[in-house]
Amino acid sequence: MSQDKKEIKLKDTKEAEGKIERGIPSLEPKIEQSIKKGAEADIFLGSMLGKEVIVKKRVEKSYRLKELDLELRRERTRAESRLISEVRLLGVSTPIIYDIDLDRFTIVMEHIRGTRLKEYFNSDVRDEEKISVAHQVGIAIGKLHSNDIVHGDLTTSNMLLSEDKVYFIDFSLGGKSIEIEDKGVDLHLLLEAFQSTHSKAMFLFDEIIKAYSKEYCYAEKAILKMHEIAKRGRYT
């Protein structure tokens, strides 16, 4: 890596995008370990400028025309990084974006050392502590929906607990929407996650919904839509 690259400091999303527009080269993190291979992106643990980072790289889709695939991966990389930063501005905890490389289709972000709520909610931790965390989740979802942001893959696998704070991760299917239907889909995804993974802790889902209802003024409509979507699934 050149000395110029070493001297570029870590930056948030706006600074990273400004860097792209000014033609400043992206930092190239050192990849150390593959964490997950997904349908849309591969996730790696790496390091950059002495920091432990997560590198998310959108994968090529061979069934798409090459030019279309390149454009879609660039745009979705940019859109996800912007969404993560917008969510942080709302007071919802997410990893900090350090760098974006639209030529490599990568987002370099803070590595959050924590426990997935998928494991935490099934652990032997006292119910009182779990309820407190559930309230955090409900408030955070309420903030997202109040600002017309949907996560798109709202499950306890995409929430991390670190130092008593809940972080939301993986916004690759997220976006902006004013539709109650889309917010109902978010809630239904979380409901399904609880029914399949936390069936003995459904009271925590109820606590999430209580906190959500206090945060989002149209919560009642979104909750009704969630139940409507659940009924559709049962009768199709």
User: What is the spatial distance between Cα 166 and Cα 155, in angstroms, rounded to a whole number?
Assistant: 13
- Within 8 A by CB and 6+ apart from 116, the residues are 156, 157, 159, 160, 161
101 is catalytic: no
Terminal-residue alpha carbon distance, the chain: 56
**Short-list 52, 102, 94, CA closest to 77:** 102
The active-site residue out of 99, 101, 153, 182 is 153
User: What is the spatial distance between Cα 139 and Cα 134, in angstroms, rounded to a whole number?
Assistant: 9
Q: What is the DSSP string of 18-61?
A: HHHHHTPPPP-PEEEEEEEE-SSEEEEEEEETTEEEEEEEEPP-
**Short-list 161, 169, 145, 182, CA closest to 41:** 169
CB-CB contact of 27 with 8 (8 Å): yes
Residues carrying an active site annotation: 153
